[in-house]
Chain A
Amino acid sequence: MQVDRDPQRVAAVRPPRRDQWQKLTLAARRDGTVTGLKVELLADMGAYLGLVTPGVPILGAFMYNAIYKFPAYHFTCTNVFTNKTWTDAYRGAGRPEATFAIERLMDELAAELGRDPLEVREQNWITHEEFPFTSVCGLEYDSGNYEAATARAKELFGYDELRAEQARRRESGDRVQLGIGVSTFTEMCGLAPSRVLGSLDYGAGGWESASVRMLPSGKVEVVTGASAHGQGHETAWSQIVADQLGVPFEDVEVLHGDTQVSPRGLDTYGSRSLVVGGQAVVQAAQRVVEKAKPLAAHLLEANVDDLEFSSGRFRVRGAGDDQEGIGLTDLALKVFTAHDLPDGMEPTLDADATFDPENFSFPHGTHLCAMEVDTETGQSRMRSYVSVDDVGNVVNPLIVDGQIHGGLVQGIAQALWEEAVYDDQGTLVSGSFVDYTLPTSADTISFVTDRTVSPATTNDLGAKGVGEAGAIASTPAVVNAVVDAVRPMGIHDIQMPCTPERVWRAIEDSRQGGSTPTEDSAQPHFTQDAPNQDDPGPDGPAGGTAYPQEGGRA
């Protein structure tokens, strides 16, 4: 989102857009097993070619199959330039669009089969024993446990109790209906593997660099190419270095954000900083220790191979617990004075590292949302939201929670409020934050967040990345909940953002003769009079659900 200074307006907002027409066809057996997925996209690029403008839908292409074992998958995408605001990567970039579509569709499949949406998902997802698992797109999901995250989310949410309340409200024809929305998302992040990016014609690699410098004062300078703009890398990187080198957290200074200080780096995006940049810091720190080792051996008059390093000190293995050893910070001063170094040792402990992982990382999570929908006004109110995310090992829980909370609000806002509205001349008519309906904290509720941990295997930290998770997962959870609330009225889709007026019109339309499925809405195929009702048995699909809709005009 950009905010321009414009003398004619308080703020001319160029809102972020994820503008796609998505047509998905899902094939499944009558028993709920998915057998194929076809995705056809028409994506609005806006007016200009930005850095990764056409790359956004391409990144999404890997994620429509999500956590499910689709044996067959087909993806086509047509990108068109229009005279609207140009698009580029925006929190999730392609993955929110994909996740929205598939998670909406899994709910529709469950509804058509008259089954619980979590149960149908479980029937189709990769079980935790099946990791590592190669997806139909060729990605290798290295770790995960969808069962554990879902079980925890259900427990925190009170899933069964809320379903019972929903049944009661439906039964009594309550004016306020309760909807429960599910999103069991995954994403590919830790955006890096340079070879993969190259194979996609991406213009850059995906490595990240770090330098660790031991100052004579004993303090440590860390230079990172992953420049933070509010994500708290300074804190997390200091923790990592304090951990690796055994120095006090306060003694680490993280430098970034100026190419004069930090000339090499590919920056913060794609939930990659900790997974790629953090690992570069780990490796640089490990190199510092390796460089210090010969000096420590020299001063302790010991053999290099007999030394061990822990809590910031080198000690001789097996020489007893009461030995003092020598501290890394002492060695830093010795290196600086260079009065007594081993022969041939270069007088520095500083080290650089550049890390390029071989694979992405795959955070996942189960998000559950309960929405109360006032069927008279169409107004939706969030009742509760639970997110259980598996982002691997966590360096700083507070930062992780902050990322989740912010991401949730962003994704929820897309589902309920924010919309870049253009008139038929392509003029932005939602040009202020009031018209764009930007929410504030007053519009959100307290989220319940928790974690399960399946460490990533592609970095020493076991971290998977968390920056985009909330924004990717939450949008379908909310829209699923709104649709679920009014589903008994014969409604199976509401265009997001689910404004009160849109919800009210959907209800009105269904009251006046019911919403007969058209080409523009979901088409049930398992009903008596619908086509494709013959189940060809285990060898072929029984039918599908066409679900064209305009995805995420945020």
Chain B
Amino acid sequence: MIPAPFDYAAPATVEEALALLAEHGDEAKVLAGGQSLLPVLRMRLNAPGMVVDISRIEGLKGITDERDSIRIGAGATYQDVLDSDLVTEHLGLLRSAVKEIADPQIRHRGTVCGALVHADPAGDVGAPVLALEGRMVVQGPDGEREVPASEFFVDLFETAVGEGELLTAVVLPKHTGWGSHYEKFVRVSHQWAIIGVAATVRAEGGTIAEARVGLTNMGATPLRASEVEQALVGLPATEEAVAQVCARAGEGTDPPSDLNGQADYRRHLAGVLTRRAVLTAAGA
């Protein structure tokens, strides 16, 4: 219940943070909103010697317009995302997924970037970021690099962010005018997603012109249902037209089996919920 003792630093700049991470090596752990890290420390699943709190770094805060993309800084909380007009206008899918995360207290502390680095397969932001083809801005001792979302998620709780590095932002291409829906399947409201489907669709006169579909908790990492996306293009946004295509969303996936559902049930749900998410996104 009580974390092991650790040192704490709250640097004011990214440079200072990186210097601290370099100095303390694998003894260091980044703290953003703490909504995953603190439970980990309290359960003593991890006992870092130095916790580097990046939440005071002004330069990481904010959600900014970068012409054809929106930049979400590592300091931006879920609530910042929900409050952002830029997100509402251009990234409806991210907004609808973030709305479903935990409760207001957690949304006021937890950050999008923290959740992405934590990379819990049941977390709700991975699938939309993947489907929206986000670019992850990773900064380390050797400078800054951009990692496409498709290469970011490596395995269970494992990402492309290495020791001594920070995820400073995620940059998401604008999807202005796209309809979006995140379908989160839970038994009780405070639960993590048993599965989730993130769908965003650009419809033209009742026909699907483009579609993006991401899946939550259908494997060790968030997944993208690329074949479904492609097969949807050109179809009328009606149940009859899309049902068969969407039913295949779970094919070939290897979801977990646990108290909330066996793998075959999750694959079945993926098909049903993809159809619902796509149709809702398309405004059908």
Contacts and interface: CB of A to CB of B under 8 A. Distances in A.
A460 interface: no
A21 B7 CA distance: 55
Contacts of B259: 421, 429-430, 435
Contacts of B265: 501, 504-505
Contact of B43 (A8, A435, A440, A504): A8
Contact of A7 (B44, B192, B268, B273): B44
Interface in A399-449: 416-417, 421, 429-430, 434-435, 437-440, 442-443
B107 to A, nearest CB: 14
B261 A501 contact: yes
A413 B44 CA distance: 31
A438 B188 contact: yes
Nearest to B192: A434
A550 B189 CA distance: 27
A465 to B, nearest CB: 30
Interface string A362-378: 00000000000000110
Given A377-B185, A501-B261, A10 B1 contact: yes
Contact of B188 (A9, A440, A501): A440
B56 interface: no
Interface residues on B, range: 20 to 34
Interface in B163-203: 185, 187-192
A53 interface: no
Interface in B190-231: 190-192
B187 A434 contact: no
Given A421-B259, A504-B265, A499 B272 contact: no
Residue from the set A7, A417, A438, A500 with the largest chain B CB neighbour count within 10 Å: A500
A418 to B, nearest CB: 10
Nearest to B262: A501
Contacts, number: 51
Contacts of A430: 259
A339 interface: no
A434 B190 contact: yes
A377 B275 CA distance: 12
A7 B1 contact: yes
A408 to B, nearest CB: 16
Nearest to B191: A434
B39 interface: yes
Contacts of A499: 187, 260
B131 interface: no
A501 B43 contact: no
A208 to B, nearest CB: 38
Given A376-B272, A501-B260, A504-B268, A437 B191 contact: yes
A255 to B, nearest CB: 35
Contacts of A443: 188-189
Contacts of B188: 417, 437-440, 442-443
A5 interface: yes
A443 B259 CA distance: 19
Contacts of A7: 1, 44
B145 interface: no
Contacts of A505: 265
Interface string B251-284: 0000000011110010011001100000000000
Interface string A1-26: 00001011110000000000000000
Contacts of A434: 190-192
A440 B261 contact: no
A29 to B, nearest CB: 42
A160 B43 CA distance: 53
Contacts of B272: 376-377
Contacts of A500: 185, 187, 261
Nearest to A8: B43
Nearest to B185: A377
B104 to A, nearest CB: 12
A430 B258 CA distance: 10
A479 to B, nearest CB: 16
Interface in A325-382: 376-377, 379
Contacts of B192: 434
Interface string B37-64: 0010011100000000000000000000
A9 B43 CA distance: 6
B187 A437 contact: yes
Nearest to B194: A500
Contacts of B1: 5, 7, 10
B38 to A, nearest CB: 11
A313 B65 CA distance: 80
Nearest to A416: B187
Interface in A486-528: 499-501, 504-505
9 contacts: A7-B1, A377-B273, A379-B185, A417-B188, A434-B191, A440-B188, A440-B189, A501-B261, A501-B262
Given A416-B187, A434-B192, A442-B188, 12 more contacts: A8-B43, A9-B43, A10-B39, A10-B42, A377-B185, A377-B269, A421-B259, A429-B259, A440-B188, A440-B190, A500-B261, A505-B265
Top 3 closest pairs, chain A to chain B, by CB: A442-B189, A376-B272, A501-B265
